[in-house]
Amino acid sequence: MTLRVLFVFLLSAWLTVSAAGLPVPDDGPALRIQGSNTIGAELGPALVEGLLQEQGLLKIHRETPDTANEQRIVGQTAQGKRVVIEVAAHGSSTGFTALKNASADLAASSREIKDNELLSLQSLGDLKSPAAEQVIAIDGLAIILHPDNSLQQLDTEQLARIFSGEIKTWEDLGGRGGAIHLYARDDQSGTYDTFKELVLSRRGKSLSSAAKRFESSEQLSDAVSSDPLGIGFIGLPYVRQAKAVAIADGASQSMLPLNSLIATEDYPLSRRLFFYLPPAADNPWAKALVTFAQSRQGQEIVARSGFISQTVHAMSVAPNALMPEGYQSLSRHAQRLTVNFRFEEGSASLDNKARQDLARVFDYIKRHDKTERAVTLVGFGDLKDDPARADLLSKLRAMAVRRELVKNGVVLREVRGFGALMPVAANNADEGRIKNRRVEVWVY
């Protein structure tokens, strides 16, 4: 065989292997995902289907085994070989347990990994590293009522008292109907963990034992929408036939769970949805799914599934009298991007989502020809004893984002700091202070 013939033979063989895409195991699933029901009920399977389509697989469909809240997403290669990806959605904590006992390749979680979980999984690498902790979507916890309930808004203090059982009747809230019926997700659920962290634990309260508990988001929502005395909390895509109410936290304005307010994470009960990919993992399907989820196609699937995608858009903000004058002026002449940059706890470093968002914001600025003095950064902070210090820190946070954009050739129009004004969360807890330390992006 001549060198030319050998080269052509090897090239042909390489192309054949490359065209096949990701490797297909001889037996067993190509990928096992465990964790959040919020993700696993629909979003996770939809992202898997998108990946299988990208890989050129045929006859893609879902199979439902006998176990509730579990699915198999199946495709077929051109050669007729079956490719199976398993999704088990029994709650966020089960995903981390499955990583530990090697029964999953990827954990889906509707909350951040806890310190004790991080410690128990350290043999798999640092699950808080940027490559491991992947924010795939933003969700909002909606507080839902029966459609005929006349109540329009609540604050997080009232929610804590309602769900702990201290507030017992609708009359106590200015409504009517009698005893309040509580509906909640089960203890394995990331939705419950998020509600517990954002509402109950911050006020030293626990969920009432009278609450009816559900593993399924859909079942919980349907139960509330059929109970005139019911109230529950649920992920945004599962409001279904129920009614969502506006929520305030501390000095923040009451906010409905609107897409724009959840995208920026200003809505008090907004949360991030995660894939956790162990750094030591060697499953190419897991890595490919994480990459696909972050792509434009993946984020389109996020939006179609009812969650909030991380694709950056510009939105108009109506000025109002509660805004400082400088912010009102900004609202009249510029548009705000649907992203807030936030920081690691106790640090001036951007958090993992903010690092991902830098690329998205730069892409938006470049595609819309706004690299030359068309971008203003606005920093905010939490309340300090010295207002001048709060003003300075808010501007320094905006400067941290400025440095990253300048590296990519963006010439800023202005960098401003508004200190502790316009809080989006209460300042009396770490979670609220972290949300208030934010940087907004405005474009002209």
Is the dihedral angle over the CA atoms 20, 23, 25, 26 positive or is it negative?
positive
- For 56, the 3-state DSSP assignment is coil
| Domain match, 132 and 145 both | no
| Domain match, 85 and 192 both | no
At 329, list the tokens.
């002026």
Single out the residue in 203, 237, 263 at which a domain terminates: 263
The domain that contains 376 carries what CATH number? 3.30.1330.60
| Domain match, 8 and 132 both | yes
- Is there a contact between 226 and 198 (Cβ–Cβ < 8 Å)? no
Single out the residue in 304, 323, 357 at which a domain terminates: 304
Confidence of residue 188 (pLDDT cuts 50, 70, 90): confident
pLDDT digits (tens, 9 = 90+) for 392-403: 989 999 999 999
| Domain match, 195 and 236 both | yes
pLDDT digits (tens, 9 = 90+) for 70-125: 999 999 999 999 999 999 999 999 999 999 999 999 999 999 999 999 999 999 99
pLDDT digits (tens, 9 = 90+) for 310-329: 999 999 999 999 899 999 99
- Is there a contact between 40 and 73 (Cβ–Cβ < 8 Å)? no
The whole-number pLDDT of residue 346 equals 66
- Is there a contact between 235 and 302 (Cβ–Cβ < 8 Å)? no
Residues 134 and 307: their CA atoms lie apart, in Å, by 16
| Domain match, 89 and 68 both | yes
pTM for this entry: 0.83
* Domain containing residue 58: 3-136+272-304
The whole-number pLDDT of residue 120 equals 97
- Is there a contact between 185 and 135 (Cβ–Cβ < 8 Å)? no
pLDDT digits (tens, 9 = 90+) for 9-56: 433 333 333 334 899 999 999 999 999 999 999 999 999 999 999 999
Number of domains in the chain: 3
| Domain match, 78 and 147 both | no
Cα 395 to the chain's mean position, in Å? 26
Nearest to 441 by CA among 346, 372, 362: 362
Mean pLDDT of 281-307: 96
**Distances 134 to 36, 109, 143, 247, 290 between C-alpha atoms, Å:** 14, 10, 26, 27, 7
| Domain match, 71 and 120 both | yes
| Domain match, 293 and 329 both | no
| Domain match, 200 and 163 both | yes
pLDDT digits (tens, 9 = 90+) for 134-163: 999 999 999 999 999 999 999 999 999 999
Q: Which residue has the higher pLDDT, 66 or 374?
A: 374
**Distances 112 to 37, 64, 100, 262 between C-alpha atoms, Å:** 15, 28, 16, 17
Residues 425 and 409: their CA atoms lie apart, in Å, by 34
> 265 Cβ partners below 8 Å, 6+ apart?
138, 272, 340, 342, 424, 435, 438
Question: Residue 357: pLDDT above 70?
Answer: yes
| Domain match, 48 and 114 both | yes
| Domain match, 231 and 293 both | no
Single out the residue in 247, 282, 304 at which a domain terminates: 304
| Domain match, 289 and 319 both | no
Report the chain's mean pLDDT, rounded to a whole number: 92
The domain that contains 76 carries what CATH number? 3.40.190.10
Mean pLDDT of 222-232: 98
**Distances 425 to 30, 190, 201 between C-alpha atoms, Å:** 42, 21, 15
